[in-house]
Amino acid sequence: MKEKVIIVGAGLGGLATGLRLAKEGYEVEFLEKNDKAGGRLNQIKKDGFTFDTGPSFFSMSYIFKEFAEKCGLRLPFEFIELDPLYSVNFSGEDKTYFLYKDIHKLAKQFQDVEPDFEQKMEKYLQKSAQLFNDTVDIVIKRNFDSYLDYFLALIKVNPVHLPILFKTFWEHVNDYFTSKEAREIISLVAFFLGRTPFDTMGIYSLLSHVEFRHDGYYNVKGGMYKIVEGMLEELSKLDVKFHYETEIVDYHAENQQIVSLKDAQGNFWKANKFVINADAALFRSEVMKYKKFSEEKLDKMEWTMGYLTFYLGLKCKLPQVNHHNYFLGSNYEQYASNILQNPSTLEKPYYYVNVVSKYNPECAPEGCESLFFVCPVPNLKYKADWSDRDKIVNSIIDDFSQRIKKDISTEIISKTIFTPQEWQDKFSLYRGSGLGLSHKFTQIGAFRPKNHDEKHDNLFYVGASTIPGAGLPMAVISAELVVERILANSR
């Protein structure tokens, strides 16, 4: 008889796990608290517009291809490589930097501020490549059974990298570049891990290799939600069942085995194995009630920043705006260094704008544009009251209008705002922290909440707050790692 697996949460990590397990012959059933799949990789359809809610591009496209091969499938969605990767504009300046993967072309834009940029960037990227090549397979793509196992893996990492363990991303970048422009632009990628260059370890400068050299960034044709739709189609061919608006709140266990999970309506769900795609730390706290994950302990852990995201439908086109854009202010260093704790300022010297309708015309009515804004903000621990959200959003709209020399405030015909409060309530993210647990040394590898439960042998975890970490390719690797555990556990 087929073993039955219940997966709690239909985010990317859950969907990828479900697809792999169904292909391996398991009977798979999903329980999802929302009314549709995707988790943070979601979609808003409103007033004739379509918006991606969270992720707008991703790296390491080969992880998706390897995943599809393992499932014996052709990828059920189409990638589009980005070059330039994105653009960056500083406030008060007309100049826009385009982040080309061709370093010679990129360097020409820095001639005025850092004339030897090209040589410096080559040297910096060589170091990033070494860091990537010497760590990724050893540390990211594997399960660890004990701390000893983890330390044995770490000591295999080339000792030449030791000094960087004691530097922040910002300090490391400053070792290579002198101009404010180069330092700020090159260190931007640290924000993609949900913290700032000032509190992210220098070792993550390996991400610069990922963006410029290794594989770059990709979009999905038709919008990022096509990833979810493609996976759902494959899952339906395998008779996988989905139960939406079903939130798990409790469990019943016997002899260190979970027998059933209980939903908020009082229904019990039985299976042989259970995989949790909800946040691995929060679920252990709220549902499993483990002391090691008490409210107090969660509060002491380091969580990523919150995101203020908003989605605008405009009744005009914006030909002057690129597809992926970063807008930086003039006090980046001062602001970014205390962004997590500083709820008071309205000034937002860092925000990202994505024009999804630029290359996906089906995402907006004719003559209109779909815009998605992301602004890093303190999570609910540091700013619990978001009653000023409209004021903040309007200040960003004003700033954006000035920079693109067009007042968009009179063109808005659709507007949706998610503060960290909405991110928390909709997707059960701890204090609205956008990417889950941060990636500091004591919260990665064997120190991150494990993907196999410490007390119940048939309970597993997948997704951003277990190994290896945040981001779409990591969610797919996380699925591979938990599937490896489940297959071993079934033998």
Which residue stretches of 55-146 are H helix? Answer: 61-70, 103-108, 117-135
Tokens of 358: 């630029």
Residue in the block written with tokens 């799949």: 37
Question: Do the Cβ atoms of 160 and 436 come closer than 8 Å?
Answer: no
* Smallest gap from residue 38 Cβ to ligand FAD (A): 7
| Cβ at position 463, least distance to ligand FAD in Å | 3
Write the CA distances from 219 to 22, 327, 340, 385, integer angstroms: 27, 20, 29, 34
Could you give the CA distance from residue 450 to residue 176 in angstroms, rounded to a whole number? Answer: 36
Q: 71, 314, 435, 486: which one contacts ligand FAD (CB under 6 A)?
A: 435
CA 13, 18, 20 angle in degrees (round to 5)?
A: 100
What is d(CA 429, CA 277) in angstroms, rounded to the nearest whole number?
Answer: 12
Q: How far is the CB of 90 from ligand FAD (least distance, A)?
A: 22
DSSP 214: I
- The pairing of strands 241-243 and 27-31 is parallel
Nearest approach in angstroms of CB 439 to ligand FAD is: 12
Residues 371-400 that bind ligand FAD (CB under 6 A): 374
Residue 379 neighbours by CB under 8 Å, 6+ apart: 303, 304, 305, 306, 340, 420, 431, 432, 433, 434
Nearer Cβ to ligand FAD (164/462) = 462
**In this complex, which beta carbon is closest to ligand FAD, that of residue 24 or of residue 247?**
247
Options 54, 76, 84, 376; binder of ligand FAD; rule CB under 6 A: 54
Residue 468 binds ligand FAD (CB under 6 A):
no
Interface with ligand FAD (CB under 6 A), residue from 18, 376, 432, 434: 434
Does 29 bind ligand FAD (CB under 6 A)? Our answer is: no
What are the helix (H) ranges across 28-99? 61-70
Q: By CB under 6 A, tell whether 427 contacts ligand FAD.
A: yes
Contacts of ligand FAD in 180-209 (CB under 6 A): none
Task: Check residue 281 for interaction with ligand FAD (CB under 6 A).
Answer: no
Asked if 472 interacts with ligand FAD (CB under 6 A), we say yes
Smallest gap from residue 53 Cβ to ligand FAD (A): 7
CB of 10 to ligand FAD, least distance (A): 5
What is the binding site for ligand FAD (CB under 6 A)? 8-14, 31-34, 39-41, 54-58, 247-248, 277-278, 307, 309, 374, 427-428, 434-435, 463-464, 470-472, 475
